[in-house]
């Protein structure tokens, strides 16, 4: 399904390559996965590979990446003040950061023909606030549609790994999501991401994040090369 709940086309075609009805010049790639799946280090390596190939890349992340977004990031990830247990306030805070991010960073970069690589996006809200915290998924999808104005990824790379391995990797740096959510929460998040990938195989590429970093990078580069038809610089990439 697409973010607004309509069935997604099984392949990425020109009709999908629009932001709010406007054709896009750039490419929008998101990295998703449970906590500790290694998205941030993959992002840095992938950006290097793409720039080396001559691609123009904008690396960004959620929550954050704008002045408002960084303030919201602190609010939403700090252990204090404790936010709601239902996930609804969380969903709106993440969505506010996302709306600003789309407007200030993502949409302008796509219009200028850049490849935008974003560490987490709307699927994180569906997985964490939806499957994790229990906010009804249809309501959340409507919030995502509102926040993003329909700007959806061309490709989502899912770094998949068992929740306990991810949490063990992250033990040094604890956000509210590691501090207060139990293993079952993170298992629901992982299962949700796998479910989204199964429902939208044309958009998602699943990468086994328990593998060596070089193998993870190679798998990600292979997935990105699928988009070379729209971005010829991607032909020159090699993992
Ligand atoms: P961060 O420290 O950036 O973790 P990670 O490196 O795993 O991305 O913290 C982001 C946390 O916020 C992470 O636990 C996932 C959560 N999150 C949501 O719950 N909903 C969202 O919409 C987003 C973007 C993140």
What the chain holds in terms of domains, given with CATH numbers, is 21-229 (3.40.50.300)
The answer to whether residue 61 scores a pLDDT higher than 80 is yes
Mean pLDDT of 14-25: 60
> Locate tokens 């958009």: which residue?
203
* CA dist., res. 142 & res. 5, Å (int): 8
Separation of 202 CA from ligand 1 center, angstroms? 24
Cβ atoms of 122 and 140 closer than 8 Å: no
Q: At 59, phi and psi to the nearest 5?
A: -100, 130
Atom 4 in ligand 1: which residue has the minimum CA distance? 35
Cβ atoms of 36 and 169 closer than 8 Å: yes
pLDDT, tens digit, for every residue of 182-235? Answer: 899 999 999 999 999 999 999 999 999 999 999 999 999 999 999 999 999 999
* CA dist., res. 211 & res. 42, Å (int): 12
Q: At 117, phi and psi to the nearest 5?
A: -115, 115
Which has more pLDDT, 176 or 129? 129
Atom 8 in ligand 1: which residue has the minimum CA distance? 35
Instruction: Tell if the pTM clears 0.75, that is, is over it.
Output: yes
User: 19: how many CB neighbours lie within 10 A of its CB?
Assistant: 19
Separation of 215 CA from ligand 1 center, angstroms? 24
Helix axes 67-77, 88-101, angle to 10 degrees: 160
User: Which of 43-47, 83-87, 116-120 is predicted least confidently?
Assistant: 83-87
User: Which of 3, 40, 44, 63 has most ligand 1 atoms within 8 Å of its beta carbon, as the pocket-test mutant?
Assistant: 63
Q: Which residues contact 218 (CB under 8 A, 6 or more apart)?
A: 239
């Amino acid at each position: 399904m697409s973010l607004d709940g309509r069935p997604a086309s099984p392949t990425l075609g020109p009709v999908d390559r629009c932001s709010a009805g406007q054709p896009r010049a750039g490419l929008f790639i998101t990295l998703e996965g449970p906590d500790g799946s290694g998205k941030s280090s993959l992002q840095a390596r992938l950006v290097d590979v793409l720039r080396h190939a001559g691609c123009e890349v904008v690396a960004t992340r959620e929550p954050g990446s704008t002045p408002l977004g960084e303030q919201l990031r602190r609010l939403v990830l700090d252990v204090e003040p404790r936010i709601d247990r239902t996930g609804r306030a969380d969903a709106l805070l993440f969505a506010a950061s996302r709306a600003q991010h789309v407007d200030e960073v993502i949409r302008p970069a796509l219009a200028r023909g850049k490849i935008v690589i974003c560490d987490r996006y709307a699927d994180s809200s569906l997985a964490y606030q939806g499957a994790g915290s229990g906010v009804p998924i249809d309501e959340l999808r409507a919030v995502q549609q509102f926040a993003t104005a329909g700007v959806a990824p061309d490709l989502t790379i899912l770094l998949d790994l068992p929740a306990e391995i991810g949490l063990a990797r992250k033990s040094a740096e604890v956000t509210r999501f590691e501090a207060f959510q139990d293993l079952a929460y993170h298992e629901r998040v992982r299962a949700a991401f796998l479910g989204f990938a199964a429902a939208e195989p044309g958009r998602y590429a699943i990468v086994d994040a328990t593998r060596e970093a070089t193998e993870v990078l190679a798998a990600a580069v292979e997935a990105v090369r699928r988009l070379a038809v729209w971005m010829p610089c991607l032909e020159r990439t090699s993992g």
